[in-house]
Amino acid sequence: MAVLAFFAQMQGQKALMKILSGAKKQAENPGKGLRRLGEEIITESVKITPIEFGRLRGSKFVRQVSRTEVQIGYGVDYAIYVHEVPATHKAPTTWKFLERPAKARFNKTPIELANDPVLRDLVNFDRL
């Protein structure tokens, strides 16, 4: 099983809150924004997930663990091996199919992050 967890108090959000002077505490329901973020990342992940029979792609999940935590991943036993072992796959599929979209989602400038509609759901801004 390959799982990636998103926490409302994750390190990236703390850095974002330091960068943006007007950032307040989390919105009243951070889980809604976190789930939406998880759904967007898993949607991008499926596009590059290797496919042979479809079981791996079919096992994708977004799980709301609590108000402040969402897990995304793939539920078949071999998912971790396909994800972690460098192998040649037919383009556009690739290994690290869960990690790459997650990193791409947060590899933005502070202004791009501040203007991201999903992240704006997670943080309430007075001013930028």
- Residue 112 and residue 105: Cα distance in Å, rounded? 10
pLDDT band, residue 30 (cuts 50/70/90): low
pLDDT digits (tens, 9 = 90+) for 101-119: 988 887 877 777 777 777 6
CB 95 within 8 A of CB 74: no
The pair of three-digit structure tokens given for residue 41, joined into one six-digit string: 């990342």
What is the number of domains present in the chain?
1
pTM for the full predicted model: 0.69
Domain that holds residue 16: 2-125
Residues near 81 by Cβ (< 8 Å), separated by ≥ 6?
none
